[in-house]
Amino acid sequence: MKRNPYATLARSSISYFLETGRTMELAGDMPQELLDKKAGAFVTLYKGDELRGCVGTIAPVRETLAEEIIRNALTAAFRDPRFPPLEEEELTFLTISVDVLSEPEEIESMAELDPDRYGVIVSCGYRRGLLLPDLDGVDSPEEQVSIALRKAGILPDESYTLERFSVTRHQEND
């Protein structure tokens, strides 16, 4: 079975940190696309069907996509404020996915959203909320925007902007 290099990198970075307490360095055997590309990326951890961590960047903040994935995997595993830090014995039960984000584009209304195809970013001043596309239980643009607003602490009657983006989702064993 072929292993997805994006998800494998995320898992390797978590495993390396659990073993050494340090952040993994870039390896020479990494696919060139991970070294050449810069993009925002989200790393999502599932334990069974339950979310165990999800952290990412809307736009790139590192020199390479590989570094983006390594850092976001560690943050999802050990610093997602919704969950306690990952324990070593949990690693074998995790399923990991990596979403690489396209450049967000501003949109005029929810009519331009499709929650299966596009993620959404809502913004009001310095407050921003993001929801990835194709999530279980999110079936309408209204639900998608409502969740993103809540995450950002923006009230529905406040003035906010909408952006959409697509993702390339990389899951283990893809």
pLDDT in tens, 55-64: 999 999 999 9
18-27's contacts with Cβ under 8 Å and 24+ in sequence apart are 18/86, 18/88, 18/91, 23/70, 23/71, 23/74, 24/70, 26/64, 26/66, 26/67, 26/70
- What does the pLDDT look like over 5-60, one tens digit per residue? 999 999 999 999 999 999 998 877 788 889 999 999 999 999 998 999 999 999 99
**CATH architecture of the domain with residue range 5-101:** 2-Layer Sandwich (3.30)
Q: What is the pTM of this model?
A: 0.91
Longest dimension (CA), the chain: 51
Supply 6's token pair: 């994006």
Q: Where do you find CATH 3.30.700.20 in the chain?
A: 5-101
**105-168 under CATH 3.30.1490.150, yes or no:** yes
